[in-house]
Structure 1
């Protein structure tokens, strides 16, 4: 019997941290009989799912090639006493019978499948979904339509005939082992394998600030209106800049849902959460109910947010060449003032932020503006 452990997600529940840690620990996992092979697919097995559901915002043809590469590698190297460990957050919503042919390609024997899933209340994960959507679209899922049938997804995997063990863990730092999803996942692996499993800590995903979300939507609307549904180098460049700045120090407000938006998400998911908690008592999922204010169904991401600063939005915009083309000629007074206002008062953090901004301007072919920024200096207002 072929043995598999499937980490099926859910999205926005620490999958990136888990997968990065698993890839780093491949050698030690193999010593414990666990095979984690991703080929050239990065650190996860999303490309295996695309073999079943051929859809990708990136290059689908390349994704399918990578998926077949993983299957071939596992089929050629898998030994009888080993367990294949697969991790892909889009597995959760995939009916398990659709993924069974992929497992049979890896090994033709009947599989014994052990499943691990992490779940998060829709009111906690909705804003992350909206943020992710804006990276490739002008639009975001409306809170009144954001329904996650987690009860149905989980039940399908739990009841699949080849599943012998099924673990559902709440993605709540207060309830995770050590307050960390990677440590928690390692503990589950130990329970499933009877082996001592240690996984290295990895950096957590960084979030855009509320103001950066607003700027990103404005960019998708005004500069990239014909590229919805696609990642684009222009938006990608600014997203990297935002996230790198935030790694040093958050620029703007940490995003939080407005009470009305939170209430709209809670309303549509209330029944699902009740069913989920009845099916899986240990999860104890709790919805944040928000307030009684009626959601107005606005199309601006600013409508979702509890707090944001129009001034910071304006300052960020003044530093972005696609909003301020004068930067191609040199640093504007508005951009100088924005740098002075936005960046940290801590000298070392400020130097890092200046270096990142200088690189963003160079990448945007704004060399004259970039030359003005001297990361070793604490002030940027003085002209050349």
Structure 2
């Protein structure tokens, strides 16, 4: 029997760690009939989800490739289509795994297209999702929204927007598409992971049985930028948005390599983001409806606690209060990055000069031989 496991996240539930572990361990897994693509990126949010969007050009993948012509874009979509069909067509029985946290956000039409795409290859499809405590998830989602902010917005306005947009009802589309018996929602709680490991817990949720002790490289990823990093990033995104007109903002430094900037921030201050989120009465009522829906999908004893209303406003990180020590460390980390790039350029320049001198020498020898 061939089974497909669709891991649909959610965000900030160890998704990147699972993807890195499965991707790097794919050769060992394949020996046991468990298949995960060995190509990068191991996060399939880019090259798989895009195939089922109603407007594929409205995707991060398209933005990463921009500027790109219509013909080249259609050719790329066809390449991805062929790549996944070839992967799913691998002969034999076993389990195939796809992991993309943004799969969960597909529209009803997009989900129908995905189902039509995968069903001819598999006898069974199982959907696995992890969910954090909604209050903790809200903090991480706000931080992620700060990273992706494309239009100027205050920290408080972005938090209000994040509260409204945080949604779990999309799970119902997956339940309707594949059936309740094929949908598994797990609470993301490191203290309760099967075997004390996220990866072991994931295999259990996916109903994947491995023979013996398979040591895969578990990776931690996607760490918080901390209070200082988020405050500074919010100010930077308001002045130099990451995207402009659907494409990378050319005025933004490292716009195509933000992971380098985020790593420099994490090295400058490793303390995680700390927020005491407050809700007014209307916000608390809406938020508790979301918690109630999640609790209906979780086993008894794993329910989340509702939030209380407050007259206070959430105190958010402020760029004007970023400590000088943090700024010094961040500038130094970025300066080291510039040094590394400069060293590589110097190395390439010396190598190119040596090749040019060798070419001139060989050209001179050839002239002498002709003479």
TM-score after normalising by structure 2: 0.70
Q: Give 1:89 shift.
A: 0.7
Counterpart Cα distance in 2 of 1:167 and 1:256: 30
Higher Rg of the two aligned structures: 2
Match of 2:62 among 35, 59, 62: 59
> Which stretch shifts more, 41-50 or 234-243?
234-243
1:184 aligned residue: 201
- Spell out the pairing of 1:1-384 with structure 2 (5 A cutoff): 2-37=2-37, 39-44=39-44, 46-53=46-53, 54=56, 55-59=58-62, 61=73, 64=77, 67-76=80-89, 78-94=90-106, 98-102=110-114, 104-105=116-117, 108=120, 111-137=123-149, 138-139=152-153, 140=158, 142=160, 145-150=163-168, 152-161=169-178, 164-177=181-194, 179-189=196-206, 191-193=207-209, 195=211, 198-224=215-241, 227=244, 231-232=248-249, 234=253, 236=255, 240-247=260-267, 249-250=269-270, 254-260=272-278, 266-282=284-300, 284-287=302-305, 289=307, 292-295=310-313, 304-305=315-316, 310-312=320-322, 339=328, 343=329, 356-360=333-337, 362=339
CA contact (8 A) 1:9 1:88 kept: yes
Deviations 1:149-203 (A, max 9, x none): 42x33333234356753321101222223554233213334x4446556532112
CA contact (8 A) 2:194 2:200 kept: yes
> Which stretch shifts more, 234-243 or 205-214?
234-243
CA contact (8 A) 1:112 1:164 kept: no
Counterpart Cα distance in 1 of 2:161 and 2:297: 25
- Say which structure is richer in helix: 2
CA contact (8 A) 2:138 2:166 kept: no
Deviations 1:272-296 (A, max 9, x none): 211321343347342463661244x
> Which structure 1 residue ranges, 5 or more long, are not aligned?
296-302, 317-337, 344-352, 366-384
CA contact (8 A) 1:263 1:289 kept: no
* CA pair 8-222 structure 1, distance change in 2 beyond 3 A: closer
Q: Give 1:59 shift.
A: 2.5
CA contact (8 A) 1:33 1:83 kept: yes
SS in 1 for 2:12: coil
CA contact (8 A) 1:48 1:102 kept: no
Deviations 1:14-49 (A, max 9, x none): 110001101011112212212212644444354222
> Which structure 2 residue ranges, 5 or more long, are not aligned?
64-72, 343-371
More relative contact order, 1 or 2 (CA 8 Å, 6+ apart): 2
* CA pair 20-65 structure 1, distance change in 2 beyond 3 A: farther
SS in 1 for 2:97: strand
TM-score after normalising by structure 1: 0.68
CA contact (8 A) 1:210 1:254 kept: yes
